Amino acid sequence: MPENHENLIPKDGEVYLYNSFFNAEESSYFMNKLLEEIEWKQEPIRIMGKEIMQPRLTAWYGDPNKPYSYSGIKMLAHPWTDPLEQIKKRIEFKFGLEFSSVLLNLYRNERDGMGWHRDNEKELGPDPTIISLSFGQSRVFQLRRYKEKSKPILLELHTGSLLIMKGATNHYWEHRIPKTSQHLQPRINLTFRNIIL
DSSP state of 159: T
Residue 159 lies in a domain: yes
Q: Is the pLDDT of residue 78 over 80?
A: yes
Query: Chain-wide mean pLDDT for the chain?
Result: 91
pLDDT, tens only, 42-55: 876 666 677 777 78
pLDDT, tens only, 21-68: 999 999 999 999 999 999 999 876 666 677 777 789 999 999 988 767
At residue 72, the pLDDT reads 64
Q: How far apart are CA 190 and CA 164, in angstroms?
A: 12
Q: How far apart are CA 102 and CA 195, in angstroms?
A: 10
When divided into structural domains, the chain yields a total of 1
pLDDT above 90: percentage of residues in the chain:
77
At residue 196, the pLDDT reads 82
Residue 3 lies in a domain: no
The average pLDDT across 147-154 equals 96
Which helix (H) or strand (E) is 157 found in, with range?
strand 153-157
pTM for the whole structure? 0.90
pLDDT, tens only, 109-150: 999 999 999 988 888 888 999 999 999 999 999 999 999 999
Q: What is the DSSP string of 50-107?
A: EEEE-SSEEEEEESTT--EEETTEEEPPBPPPHHHHHHHHHHHHHHT---SEEEEEEE
Q: Are 173 and 13 in contact (CB under 8 A)?
A: yes
Residue 184 lies in a domain: yes
At residue 3, the pLDDT reads 42
The average pLDDT across 145-170 equals 97
At residue 137, the pLDDT reads 98
CATH number, residue 104: 2.60.120.590
Note down the domain range covering 103: 14-193
Residue 7 lies in a domain: no
The average pLDDT across 89-108 equals 96
Number of neighbouring beta carbons within 10 Å of residue 167: 16
Q: Is the pLDDT of residue 8 over 70?
A: yes
